[in-house]
Amino acid sequence: MEYSRLFRLDGKVGLVIGGASGIGHAAARALAAHGAHVVCADLNLEGARATADLITRDGGRAEAAQVDVVQEQSVRALFTAVTAAHASLDVAVATPGINVRKPILAYTAEDLDRVLAVNLKGTFYVLREAGRVMAAQGGGSIIAFASIRAQVVEAGQSVYAATKAGIVQIVRTLAAELGARGVRVNAIAPGVVETPLTRPISRNPEWYQAYAARNALGRWAAAEEMGGPVVFLASNAGSYVTGSVLLVDGGWTAIDGRFTPPL
């Protein structure tokens, strides 16, 4: 094994859905920096183009595409276009997610449908189409984004947490189904990350600090800190990792409580 190239992705094609901003933007840049040709896909096509342009200016290879993960046909069309343009699809990353913070008793049917459509159904469509392509070609790495909320919850997070737990189980099942065909499927479960999704919280100083104090590192993550875990799971460094949930949470789920006793 050539250890110096464990994380290299030269000659690989990676598709990042949600590549216009936040974690998807960071994942696309990280994959490209390690040699992958990256397709940055997003509902926000201009944002996806901006990410692709930035990668190109940095010396990498990238292109942009539009997709609406809520629409099954849109996801299918994206994968058809990518596989028509490239000899293989080696990495697929699914990052889109939304949250409606409400008590369960205040949740409407519209709220429920909206969160389920993006987080669970949208991720399912992406994983299914990626799985079909990679099973046929005999290999690849699929990475979905779950959350610490797949394991631990708080008031107002019911449906979001349920969708993230659902993503974990879909990932595990797909890993079991496609392992024999050389396809690895994993989930990354971040803690609190500064992204557009969490901006309503991060703008509240008390809330922001409470979350920072809750984890072992005492701070929020930057979106860029999710790039390393993505590269690990995409590359040969993670060649024997499948069906796993990689917690990237600053120790949030490892520590008990918010009080540090005198020792």
Which two three-digit tokens encode residue 253?
């789920």
Catalytic-residue membership of 160: yes
- In Å, how far are 34, 77, 95, 233, 235 from 240, measured between CA atoms? 19, 31, 22, 9, 10
Alpha-carbon gap, residue 39 to 48, rounded angstroms = 9
For tokens 């799971």, name the residue: 233
Pairwise CA distance, residues 220 & 213, whole Å = 9
Residue 23 covered by a domain: yes
The answer to whether residue 110 sits within a structural domain is yes
The pLDDT assigned to 60 comes to 98
User: Is 155 inside a domain boundary?
Assistant: yes
Among 125, 160, 211, 240, the active-site one is 160
Please say whether the beta carbons of 162 and 204 come within 8 A.
no
Residue 259 lies in a domain: no
Residue 82 amino acid letter: V
Considering the entire predicted model, what is its pTM?
0.96
Low-confidence ranges of the chain (pLDDT < 50): none
138 is written with which tokens? Answer: 């005999």
Domains held by the chain: number? 1
Task: Return the pLDDT at 262.
Answer: 67
Q: What confidence score (pLDDT) does residue 202 get?
A: 82
Domain assignment present for residue 182? The answer is yes
In a domain, 219, yes or no: yes
Q: Which residues constitute the domain of residue 59?
A: 9-246
Torsional sign, CA 188, 156, 193, 116: positive
- Report CA-CA distances (Å) from 75 to 86, 112, 117, 130, 244: 17, 21, 13, 10, 24
- CA dist., res. 132 & res. 72, Å (int): 14
CATH number at residue 227: 3.40.50.720
N-term to C-term CA, the chain: 45
Angle between helices 22-33 and 45-57 (to 10 degrees): 30
In whole angstroms, give the CA distance from residue 69 to residue 34: 26
Q: Please report whether residue 202 resides in a domain.
A: yes
The pLDDT, as a whole number, for residue 197 is 80
Crossing angle for the helix pair 22-33 and 227-234, to the nearest 10 degrees: 50
The answer as to whether 173 is a domain residue is: yes
Note the pLDDT of residue 52.
98
**Residue 27 CA to its chain's centroid (Å):** 8
pLDDT computed for residue 260 by the predictor: 65
Model pLDDT, residue 8 = 98
